[in-house]
Structure 1
Amino acid sequence: MKRNVLIIGAGGVAHVVAHKCAQHNAVLGEVHIASRTPAKAQNIVRSIQARHGMNHPGLVQAHGLNALDVRATAALIRATGARIVIQAGTSFLNMSVLAACIETGAAYIDTAIHEDPSKTCEAPPWYANYEWKQAQACAAAGVTAVLGAGFDPGVVNAYARLAVDELFDEVRSIDIIDTNAGSHEKYFATNFDPEINFREFTGSVWSWQQGRWQENRMFEERREWELPVVGRQTTYLTGHDEIHSLSTHLNVPDIRFWMGFSDHYINVFTVLNSLGLLSEKPVRTDGGQEVVPLKVVKAVLPDPASLASSYQGKTCIGDLIRGVKDGKPHEALIYNVCDHQAAYREVGSQAVSYTAGVPAAAAALLIASGVWDTGSMNNIEQLPPRPWLQLLETMGLPTRIRDAFGDRKLLSPCGALLKAA
């Protein structure tokens, strides 16, 4: 059994990961949080202590770390005795943290695809440009690496795998739908790192259609959906991490990602982008100072973690899957609804961070217990989905299914698939 967890990062997602790991420290052991800004990591420690968030006496400790420094990261892994490392910081760090895990033999978990600061919306399959190049090194070192263990990517991948394996005879299309019907009462803010958020939308939109890659512009294709709890939501075809792995690992001809945006968000985004303020390329001011416009915008926007206390409403994220069952056309929406205020009451976060952070902690539990400790690199859809989804039922992210037979829980308390009434 692997014990002791090192969490890289101290933002909104890392905050949730740390709380959930502390809630399960009887299994996971010590919880260490490392950030380039040690005070932010210490704030998470205080939050856990204030909520009496540990289910067993143990250590929760903050550390300072520049995780781009592979040698320093490896040294901290060894010093803490961490056998599981959760990369919950900016996705610019993925490859450095993964390298440190390969060097030390620690298991690696992340929640998003690696990004190069000088590039945006890379050509597919994006994973092949970075993480997948280290698959042989992981196997040679016996290192378990779980890629994209958030919600999307992550839980939606598990939904897709379960549908292909157990719910359909043939899956013809997967539409991943991510909507946030909440309000944070700010004029404008992003729900996670603004730099990463904007970079998703400033380049090409890649989707997998008719068994090949299709390129579109952002906000070019719009679709409305009638969703459980949150009602009618407007979404736009968007490029996203999970398409880059699902298109490789599942034999499904159409896989698309749709994200909800308000008109206000689109208007502000369009103005910023048109002015060049979302560029990742440095510019020089008339005073001779070199700045990156996107980093300036990030600096003036609210910290996503600060939104939690006033956030109201719910998110709804899921997979709308179409195909064939028992020789007939079949459609099912597999989804989760998460409440912003419920997340805040439990761990002091908003639902967007909660839905990304809880699955990563659940993945750590499956590695610790050996269920997902494969000694190799895998995306979520390459791993058995049911143990993870069953854990999430108990950790605050239950799954429901809506199909021709009604709307119901997907899994029973013992983990069996529930039959339609």
Structure 2
Amino acid sequence: MKRTVLIIGAGGVAQVVAHKCAQNNDILGDLHIASRTVAKCEAIIDSVRAKGAMKIAGDFGVHTLDAMDVAAVAALIGQTGAQIVINVGSPFVNMTVLEACIQTGAACIDTAIHEDPTKVCETPPWYGNYEWKRREACKAAGVTAILGAGFDPGVVNAFARYAVDACMDTVESIDIVDINAGSHGRYFSTNFDPEINFREFTGTVYAWQGGEWTENRMFEVMREDDLPVVGRHKSYLSGHDEVHSLAARYPHADVRFWMGFSDHYINVFTVLQNLGLLSEQPVVTAEGLEVVPLKLVKAVLPDPSSLAPDYTGKTCIGDFVRGVKDGKPVEVFVYNTSDHAQAFAEVGSQGISYTAGVPPVAAAMLIASGVWDVGHMANVEDLDPKPFLALLNRIGLPTRIKDADGDRALVL
């Protein structure tokens, strides 16, 4: 049984992870959090203490860390005795954290795919460019590395695996739909790191259709759905991490990701992009200063964590999975809805951070108990989804299923 958790990162998702680890420290043991900015870590711990989140008395240490430094990460793992590392820092640090875990034997959980800060939207499959190249090293070291264990990617991968295994003989399509029907009251903001958010939408939109990678422009392809709780919403075909692993597991199915955007978001995004302000490449100002436009935009937008106190409304994220069962067509919608205000009341974060932060803690608990401590690298859909979804039902992200028999809680 593995115990003692090191959380890397100190943003809005890390706050949720910290609270949920504290709520389950009887299973996870001593806790630690590390970031470049120790004051952010201390603020998260203060929040944990203020909410009385620690289930039992225990340590919650705070550390300064440059997570781009493999040796520094490995040293901190050794210093803390951490056996499970939850990486919710920037996707730019994924590979250094993974390497440190391979060197030390600690289990590794991340919530998004690795990115090279100098490149946007690399050639698919994205996991093949970085993480999957370390599969053999993980296996040789006996290290459990669970990739993309947030919500999307993460829970939606488990939704897909569950729907295929439980509801159909063959799968024909997986359409992941992510709708945030909440309001934060700001003129314009992103719900997580603006730099990462914009990088997702400035490149080619890759989807897996007809047994090959297809390419579109952002906001080129739209669908409209009438969804539980949030109602009718438009969403747009977008590039996203989980498409690249699910396409490898289900190569004969179409795999697509759709994200909801308001007309206002699209208008602002389009202006910023047309002005060149979403570029990751540096420019030189008239004063001779070198500036990365995307980082400048990030600096002037609201910190996503500041949105939480005023956020209202709900999210709906789920998978429409179509296939064949007993020779007949079947479609199921496996989904979750989350409430922004309830998330803030519980952990001090908005609903987007909540949906991203609860799942890696569930994954850590399954590693701690041995259920998911597999000793090799895996994407979420490679693992049995039932214990994961059952645990999420219990700790804050209940799953529902809608099909020909109606809309109901998924009981596992």
Show the counterpart of 2:227: 227
In 1: Cα distance, 2:199 partner to 2:299 partner = 15
Show the counterpart of 1:3: 3
8 Å CA contact 2:322, 2:331 repeated in 1? yes
SS of match in other structure, 1:109: strand
Question: Is residue 386 from structure 1 mapped to residue 386 from structure 2 by the alignment?
Answer: yes
In 2: Cα distance, 1:296 partner to 1:30 partner = 38
In 1: Cα distance, 2:137 partner to 2:325 partner = 40
Show the counterpart of 2:211: 211
1:158 is displaced (CA, Å) by: 0.4
In 2: Cα distance, 1:135 partner to 1:332 partner = 32
Show the counterpart of 1:418: none
Question: Is residue 356 from structure 1 mapped to residue 356 from structure 2 by the alignment?
Answer: yes
1:138 is displaced (CA, Å) by: 0.5
1:327 is displaced (CA, Å) by: 1.8
Question: Is residue 173 from structure 1 mapped to residue 173 from structure 2 by the alignment?
Answer: yes
SS of match in other structure, 1:288: coil
- After superposition, give the CA deviation of every residue in 1:16-45 in whole Å (9 maximum; x if it has no partner): 111101100011011111011100011000
The AA in structure 1 aligned to 2:279 is: S
- After superposition, give the CA deviation of every residue in 1:55-111 in whole Å (9 maximum; x if it has no partner): 010011211111001111111000001000011011000001001101111000000
Q: How does 1:210-359 map to 2 (within 5 A)?
A: 210-359=210-359
SS of match in other structure, 1:338: strand
The AA in structure 2 aligned to 1:216 is: N
The AA in structure 2 aligned to 1:377 is: M
The AA in structure 2 aligned to 1:309 is: P
* Greater Cα offset, 245-254 or 207-216: 245-254
Show the counterpart of 1:419: none
Show the counterpart of 2:77: 77
The AA in structure 2 aligned to 1:121 is: C
- After superposition, give the CA deviation of every residue in 1:289-340 in whole Å (9 maximum; x if it has no partner): 1111000000111110110110000000000011112221111110000000
8 Å CA contact 2:91, 2:114 repeated in 1? yes
Q: How does 1:93-108 map to 2 (within 5 A)?
A: 93-108=93-108
* Greater Cα offset, 315-324 or 244-253: 244-253
Provide the TM-score with structure 2 as the length reference. Answer: 0.99
In 1: Cα distance, 2:335 partner to 2:298 partner = 31
8 Å CA contact 1:149, 1:360 repeated in 2? yes
8 Å CA contact 1:182, 1:340 repeated in 2? yes
1:122 is displaced (CA, Å) by: 1.2
Provide the TM-score with structure 1 as the length reference. Answer: 0.97
Q: How does 1:129-148 map to 2 (within 5 A)?
A: 129-148=129-148
The AA in structure 2 aligned to 1:171 is: V
The AA in structure 1 aligned to 2:284 is: R
The AA in structure 2 aligned to 1:296 is: L
SS of match in other structure, 1:200: helix
8 Å CA contact 1:178, 1:259 repeated in 2? yes
8 Å CA contact 1:114, 1:131 repeated in 2? yes
SS of match in other structure, 2:288: coil
In 2: Cα distance, 1:99 partner to 1:89 partner = 15
In 2: Cα distance, 1:410 partner to 1:327 partner = 24
In 1: Cα distance, 2:36 partner to 2:71 partner = 15
SS of match in other structure, 2:335: strand
SS of match in other structure, 2:58: coil
Q: Which runs of 5+ in 2 are unaligned?
A: none
In 2: Cα distance, 1:241 partner to 1:264 partner = 25
SS of match in other structure, 1:219: coil
In 1: Cα distance, 2:226 partner to 2:308 partner = 26
Question: Is residue 200 from structure 1 mapped to residue 200 from structure 2 by the alignment?
Answer: yes
In 2: Cα distance, 1:251 partner to 1:70 partner = 35
- After superposition, give the CA deviation of every residue in 1:93-147 in whole Å (9 maximum; x if it has no partner): 0001001101111000000000000111111100000000001011111110000
In 1: Cα distance, 2:366 partner to 2:111 partner = 15
Identity across matched positions, percent: 68
Show the counterpart of 1:403: 403
In 2: Cα distance, 1:94 partner to 1:352 partner = 21
RMSD of the TM alignment (CA)? 0.7
How many residues of Structure 1 are paired with residues of Structure 2 in the alignment? Answer: 412
SS of match in other structure, 2:54: coil
In 1: Cα distance, 2:311 partner to 2:156 partner = 24
SS of match in other structure, 2:201: coil
The AA in structure 2 aligned to 1:197 is: N
8 Å CA contact 2:138, 2:145 repeated in 1? yes
- After superposition, give the CA deviation of every residue in 1:177-211 in whole Å (9 maximum; x if it has no partner): 00000000000000000000000000100000011
8 Å CA contact 1:42, 1:61 repeated in 2? no
In 1: Cα distance, 2:391 partner to 2:346 partner = 17
In 2: Cα distance, 1:326 partner to 1:346 partner = 44
Show the counterpart of 1:182: 182
In 1: Cα distance, 2:105 partner to 2:250 partner = 29
SS of match in other structure, 1:121: coil
The AA in structure 2 aligned to 1:210 is: G
In 1: Cα distance, 2:98 partner to 2:376 partner = 12
8 Å CA contact 2:164, 2:321 repeated in 1? no
In 1: Cα distance, 2:73 partner to 2:321 partner = 41
SS of match in other structure, 1:132: helix
Would you identify which runs of 4 or more consecutive aligned residues in structure 1 move more than 3 Å? none
In 1: Cα distance, 2:326 partner to 2:55 partner = 46
The AA in structure 2 aligned to 1:152 is: D
Q: Which runs of 5+ in 1 are unaligned?
A: 416-421
The AA in structure 2 aligned to 1:39 is: A
1:287 is displaced (CA, Å) by: 0.9
SS of match in other structure, 2:308: helix
1:251 is displaced (CA, Å) by: 4.0
In 1: Cα distance, 2:262 partner to 2:9 partner = 29
